[in-house]
Structure 1
Amino acid sequence: MSIPPLSPLQKLATLLKEMAARQDYHFPIVAAQRQFRERYYGLSSAAMLEDLFLDAVAHYVSTYRPELNLGRPPRGEKGWDYSLDGFKVSHKVSKSGAPSIAVLWDATRTDLTHYTYGSPISLTIGGYSPSKIQIKTSSNHILKAKPIERDLEVTNGSSLILVRWDAGTNGEILFKWHA
């Protein structure tokens, strides 16, 4: 029995999951999420984050998955930001979750009856989690938590927890500190 080949979307998802599983790719991207947004204006920051992400993917492909073909469009070509084995993807960056995505409307195209977009869209929202989350402990106790942000003050009576999330939705509490 042979294993069916992965679809282009499955191939892309697998590649990104493999890259994200390697801790050596976390720091540059996570650090840039905060630093670029603090130091550069909106679209400049987004463009640099996109380039850093794609540089990381290109490095991962050339180092660990050289059988894959990662491509970029010619300068100025619209509609896509990179391709994996010919599968074109538009990459977006957001500070606050999934944004509304606009499509360009061409009034001269009377043959179009609805809006379309020529390639799939990937969205990077790393570092911008919900303001409050719930964590279920192994003893089924629910903890309400806030992700640590740069200026968050830990007050007396509060606790800090270190949590590890692997693939999936269940987190593991590694350590708990009381203030």
Structure 2
Amino acid sequence: MITTYQLADEQRRTWIGDLVEMIALAAKLTQRSAHQDGRAHEDDRLPDLLHRPAYHGPVRLLRLSYPRCMPDATGDSVDRFLRLTREMLDRPDYLLPMAAAQIQFRRDNYQMASASMLEDMFFDTLGTYLRESRPAEQLERRSGKELWDYSLNGLRISHKEAVRPSLSIWWTSGVKVDGKWFPREEYQTYTSPHPIALVLSGPVTFRTGVAANNFASEVELSGPTGARKIAKLSAPKRQYATLLSYLGDEATVEETWSLDEWRGARFHDLWPILGGPGIGARDVWLTRSGEPLAVGTKLTVPPQALLPGIYVLSTDQLVDVPMIANNRAHSFDSAALQEKLLESRQRNQFAHFPLWFATFTESQPPNLYAQQRREYESLFAARQIVEE
């Protein structure tokens, strides 16, 4: 909340009244002809108003409180969430830790635990960025078992993490009939009261055309390299590592390496090329072509390619979504989910999430006991914290 102070009513009325009268007279003054007779005009009172003695009565201060940000329309709020997310991911101090977490948390923890930790990681990262760089924004975490996970300026968002396009809603098993799982009667469809933000960090392969004056008419892209490592996929033969920068549905080749050069490169050798302005829209892909793509080559990203990134599904997309079930959960039908994710990308409800740094990230299993042990040892430290 922001607190301000205003004058008591009689003083405020006097000053505001004078201000309104001055504005009205000034408007008339600008309309007066330069050649007029010497008759007195109403706007001749303007100098008198400018020199009117100030109010000298007692001043009483009133404390008023009001919200810093008011929730706006859902569409505008979603756009703002994505704009702030893109800003955050365009800074290496936020992008690289988030990319590293995608592989470290998934390899070092159980599947459901890793998804929860990645959700916490996203909230903590975005929260830190907003507090440092956008302090007027209000990001809050849910306090109970609500159907949303956090809110930005009043917009409540449900957060999901996935390597492949999948989105579970209810963690309860379906009904098994003749060896097949079906949704329970009460869980056939799902309508969400809140938008859903899905962080998709898995690889994708697609083919696209290149410029007509290039040596080839089509090229196959697979990746990004970091997403392939997250999914534990090995690099196919006869490919190149290609650095692409995105702009809308177009990607431009910025650098190309042979696969051996890419595998043998170190982070600090590549940082001058991979880092710098625009890091949030730059990633490394494996390309299959007769020759390496020339720097500056333009590629079109086909609309059916589910690129790694943060997709936001608006509430108008989340009405009566068909569900599927297994022995653990009820989830979105795969085809329906993919269609909605592609729709979000076409709506620009999508933020690129470059994952190349995962290629340089090593596993770091957490030692939870060691952390608790440090807290225990602090109880017996020779120098204790003294409260002043």
TM-score calculated relative to the size of structure 1:
0.77
What residue number does 1:24 align with? 93
Asked if structure 2 preserves the Cα contact closer than 8 Å seen for 1:92 and 1:122, the reply is: yes
Aligned length: 161
Quick check: 143-152 or 41-50, which moved more? Answer: 143-152
Where does 1:8-157 land on structure 2 (aligned, <5 Å)? 8-74=77-143, 76-97=144-165, 99-102=166-169, 115-126=190-201, 128-130=202-204, 132-138=205-211, 139=213, 141-147=217-223, 148=225, 149-150=228-229, 152-153=234-235, 155=237
CA distance in 2, matches of 1:159, 1:25: 30
What residue number does 2:246 align with? 166
Relative to total residues, which structure has the larger helix share, 1 or 2?
2
Asked if structure 2 preserves the Cα contact closer than 8 Å seen for 1:50 and 1:91, the reply is: yes
CA distance in 2, matches of 1:13, 1:34: 23
Asked if structure 2 preserves the Cα contact closer than 8 Å seen for 1:94 and 1:125, the reply is: yes
In the alignment, residue 143 of structure 1 is paired with which amino acid? V
CA distance in 2, matches of 1:115, 1:177: 46
Quick check: 161-170 or 79-88, which moved more? Answer: 161-170
CA distance in 2, matches of 1:153, 1:87: 41
Q: Residue 161 of structure 1: CA displacement? A: 2.6
CA distance in 1, matches of 2:206, 2:103: 21
**Superposed CA RMSD:** 2.5
Asked if structure 2 preserves the Cα contact closer than 8 Å seen for 1:19 and 1:57, the reply is: yes
Distance 1:135 1:23, change over 3 A: farther
Higher relative contact order (CA 8 A, sep 6+): 2
* Structure 1, unpaired ranges of 5+: 105-113
Asked if structure 2 preserves the Cα contact closer than 8 Å seen for 1:71 and 1:82, the reply is: yes
> Could you say which structure has the larger radius of gyration?
2
Q: Secondary structure of the equivalent of 1:47?
A: helix
Distance 1:63 1:166, change over 3 A: farther
* Structure 2, unpaired ranges of 5+: 1-71, 172-188, 260-388
What residue number does 1:176 align with? 256
TM-score calculated relative to the size of structure 2:
0.38
Distance 1:166 1:115, change over 3 A: closer
Q: Residue 35 of structure 1: CA displacement? A: 1.3
